[in-house]
Amino acid sequence: MFHIAFGFHYFRKRNEKTRKGGCEFCGQEATLRTYEASKWFTLYHIIPIVPLGRKQIVHSCSRCSKHREAPIRSWKRSIQASFDEMERRYLADPGDLSTAMEMLHLIDLRFPEEQTIAFAQKIEQDIPGMETIGALAEWYEYLMRYKDAIRFYELLAQTEDSDALKRKRAELNFAVGEYTRAYTLLSSVTTADFKLDFQALFETAKALRRNGNAREGLLVMKHILATFGEQTKKESLFLDELESFETELHVAPIIPRRSLFRMEIVGPIVSGIVVIIGFIIANIVLAQMQTLYVVNGLSTSAGISVSGRMPFAVLHNEIVKVPIEEGDHTVSVTVPWTNYSIRVSINNSIIERFLMKHVFVVNVCGSGALIREKIVYAGSLASKEEPTTDLLVGKYFSALQGIDYPFTTPPEKITLDSAFKKEIRYCLFLSKADAIDILSSLTNFNSIPQPKYMKRYIEAHIAGGEKRLRKFIPLVERE
Ligand SMILES: [Zn+2]
């Protein structure tokens, strides 16, 4: 089994010209070849079978290989006719740039390249101006005479440079192997654009390395990193290339790639650890900052020593606050008729330290009548919790929990829950007799506000607290 493949082939190519431009068929920027050739019907693309005559091939695309084709004689006739017509127009007005440029294109199709160049030089002399320079710059680029094109684009840039012009010159410099110059131009654009510049810079870096200038190539790689940052890190080819640069030049990794991944995990872990350490430190500090209340309900003063420290006196009806650290302590009490020691355990759990501290009370000889109040504020109304009041007498030491403030000492300030302002005000109004009861009344009333009485009754509440302290503490005495 074998296939017989027929096709067309061009032999004996002559007068070949290569140009750079947009292909009229596929629209891509390509190398376009124009030449004369003999067309043959072939077997296996190489064995000529039937001659089809001498042809002119015009702009054969390097990408899609489509082209225009005409029999050589008719092509020459038509190009000559166009040329004669164009020449008449040109001679009538040799100073018109667009006519001169059309003329130049026809000369390029019709005559060898030397004549084209000569005519381009004539245009340059005859029609001075930036417009001519721009047209010739593009012309030389089309001709793939890049060094000439660069010269003209540089002239343009001297008058007014732009990012587009810099990119164009960079591209042409790259094409003629001037990679350093290409990099200089690309790195000097005012607004770097990832789509436009990333690939060009990357290619420049690779070209520098290929041409034995890896060190400068690495500079370009670093420039890319600095310019495009995170975007660059998604380009695996770029990252691979960067690694080869690093290996070749024996430099430390510029982006520690694995640690990039690690930072995403390590970051939260580190902050978690910081929070935990902060919590532990806060706990230690809080554990050091407890208060021991020493209450003396006796009619005489008492000498107190806590864990062997300097003794101090607690006067009749006095409450002394002793700053103390957590732990088991020994409190020695001396009164005129006796002395004793008690073990006092001052301890909170971690949660209690932050949220619901104990109130630690040493009650001298159990003499103080302590009121333990649990106050239910208006905000807790929904919970149907009942306020409670206990009288504590006779205990030497208490670690009280779940109370709002120790003993009957009232809060210095009452903050009204905004949702229950009305109710609180009304209850304050109702409980003139004993302001402490205001708060227990809160559970029962839900009515009209009386703002003008509010301040007065809060004051009464505080006064009532003091009154209670006086009333209860001296109640029990042991003498
Ligand atoms: Zn094409």
Listing DSSP states for 263-299 in one string gives HHHHHHHHHHHHHHHHHHHHHHHHHH-EEEEEE--SS
Taking 80 as the threshold, does the pLDDT of residue 254 lie above it? Answer: no
What's the CA-to-centroid distance between 471 and ligand 1, angstroms? 107
What's the CA-to-centroid distance between 68 and ligand 1, angstroms? 11
What's the CA-to-centroid distance between 32 and ligand 1, angstroms? 8
What's the CA-to-centroid distance between 479 and ligand 1, angstroms? 117
What pLDDT does residue 451 have? 38
Taking 70 as the threshold, does the pLDDT of residue 382 lie above it? Answer: no
Going by pLDDT thresholds of 50, 70 and 90, the confidence category of residue 438 is very low
What pLDDT does residue 463 have? 39
What pLDDT does residue 402 have? 64
- How far is it, in rounded angstroms, from Cα 173 to Cα 183? 9
What pLDDT does residue 165 have? 94
What's the CA-to-centroid distance between 146 and ligand 1, angstroms? 21
What's the CA-to-centroid distance between 26 and ligand 1, angstroms? 4
Taking 80 as the threshold, does the pLDDT of residue 420 lie above it? Answer: no
Domain 161-255 has CATH 1.25.40: yes
Q: Which of 272-281, 367-376, 384-393, 409-418 has the highest mean pLDDT?
A: 272-281
The answer to whether 337 and 384 have CB atoms below 8 angstroms apart is no
What's the CA-to-centroid distance between 52 and ligand 1, angstroms? 24
The answer to whether 345 and 315 have CB atoms below 8 angstroms apart is no
**Maximum alpha-carbon separation in the chain:** 142
Taking 90 as the threshold, does the pLDDT of residue 148 lie above it? Answer: yes
Which is higher by pLDDT, 401 or 237?
237
What pLDDT does residue 109 have? 84
Could you give phi then psi for residue 321, rounded to 5 degrees?
-95, 125
Mean pLDDT of 47-61: 86
Question: Nearest CA to 33 among 66, 79, 82?
Answer: 66
What's the CA-to-centroid distance between 140 and ligand 1, angstroms? 21
What's the CA-to-centroid distance between 161 and ligand 1, angstroms? 32
What pLDDT does residue 381 have? 47
Mean pLDDT of 186-208: 91
Please name the residues in contact with 389: beta carbons below 8 A apart, sequence gap of 6 or more: 371, 372, 373, 374
What's the CA-to-centroid distance between 43 and ligand 1, angstroms? 25
What pLDDT does residue 408 have? 46
- How far is it, in rounded angstroms, from Cα 135 to Cα 37? 31
Mean pLDDT of 293-297: 80
Taking 90 as the threshold, does the pLDDT of residue 267 lie above it? Answer: no
Which is higher by pLDDT, 119 or 385?
119
Taking 50 as the threshold, does the pLDDT of residue 251 lie above it? Answer: yes
Going by pLDDT thresholds of 50, 70 and 90, the confidence category of residue 139 is very high
What pLDDT does residue 220 have? 92
- How far is it, in rounded angstroms, from Cα 175 to Cα 167? 12
Going by pLDDT thresholds of 50, 70 and 90, the confidence category of residue 127 is very high
Mean pLDDT of 313-330: 85
What's the CA-to-centroid distance between 21 and ligand 1, angstroms? 10
What's the CA-to-centroid distance between 56 and ligand 1, angstroms? 18
What pLDDT does residue 79 have? 87
Between the alpha carbon of residue 16 and those of residues 214, 252, 304, the distances in Å are 38, 51, 115
Mean pLDDT of 152-158: 93
What's the CA-to-centroid distance between 61 and ligand 1, angstroms? 4
What's the CA-to-centroid distance between 62 and ligand 1, angstroms? 7
Q: What is the DSSP letter of 479?
A: -
Range list of H helices, 40-93: 72-92
- How far is it, in rounded angstroms, from Cα 233 to Cα 235? 5
Q: Which of 173-182, 304-313, 385-394 has the highest mean pLDDT?
A: 173-182
- How far is it, in rounded angstroms, from Cα 284 to Cα 119? 92
- Averaged pLDDT score across all residues of the chain: 77
Report helix, strand or coil for 215. Answer: helix
> ∠87-92-93 over CA atoms, to 5°?
100
Taking 80 as the threshold, does the pLDDT of residue 371 lie above it? Answer: no
What's the CA-to-centroid distance between 33 and ligand 1, angstroms? 11
Strand 327-335 relative to strand 302-306: parallel, antiparallel, unpaired? antiparallel
What's the CA-to-centroid distance between 147 and ligand 1, angstroms? 25
Q: Which of 73-87, 161-175, 455-469 has the highest mean pLDDT?
A: 161-175
What's the CA-to-centroid distance between 9 and ligand 1, angstroms? 18
What's the CA-to-centroid distance between 264 and ligand 1, angstroms? 47
Mean pLDDT of 224-233: 84
What pLDDT does residue 407 have? 53
Taking 50 as the threshold, does the pLDDT of residue 346 lie above it? Answer: yes
Mean pLDDT of 373-395: 57
Mean pLDDT of 103-116: 89
What's the CA-to-centroid distance between 59 and ligand 1, angstroms? 9
Residue 308, Cβ density class (10 Å: 0-12 exposed, 13-18 middle, ≥19 buried): exposed
> ∠425-429-434 over CA atoms, to 5°?
115
What's the CA-to-centroid distance between 131 and ligand 1, angstroms? 29
Report helix, strand or coil for 37. Answer: strand
What's the CA-to-centroid distance between 22 and ligand 1, angstroms? 8
Going by pLDDT thresholds of 50, 70 and 90, the confidence category of residue 372 is low
Going by pLDDT thresholds of 50, 70 and 90, the confidence category of residue 133 is very high
Going by pLDDT thresholds of 50, 70 and 90, the confidence category of residue 471 is very low
Which is higher by pLDDT, 360 or 352?
360
Taking 90 as the threshold, does the pLDDT of residue 195 lie above it? Answer: no
Between the alpha carbon of residue 381 and those of residues 204, 229, 385, 417, the distances in Å are 75, 57, 7, 11
What's the CA-to-centroid distance between 327 and ligand 1, angstroms? 89
What's the CA-to-centroid distance between 64 and ligand 1, angstroms? 4
- How far is it, in rounded angstroms, from Cα 254 to Cα 218? 10
Beta bridge partner(s), residue 400: 359
Beta bridge partner(s), residue 329: 344
Taking 60 as the threshold, does the pLDDT of residue 439 lie above it? Answer: no
Mean pLDDT of 243-263: 71
Q: Out of 118-132, 253-267, 276-290, pick the least confident.
A: 253-267
What's the CA-to-centroid distance between 69 and ligand 1, angstroms? 14
Taking 90 as the threshold, does the pLDDT of residue 178 lie above it? Answer: yes
- How far is it, in rounded angstroms, from Cα 61 to Cα 25? 8
What pLDDT does residue 258 have? 53
Counting Cα atoms < 13 Å in the Cβ hemisphere of 148 gives 16
The answer to whether 306 and 291 have CB atoms below 8 angstroms apart is no
Please name the residues in contact with 338: beta carbons below 8 A apart, sequence gap of 6 or more: none
Write down the domain spans for the chain: 6-75, 161-255, 261-288, 289-475
What percent of the chain has pLDDT above 90? 25
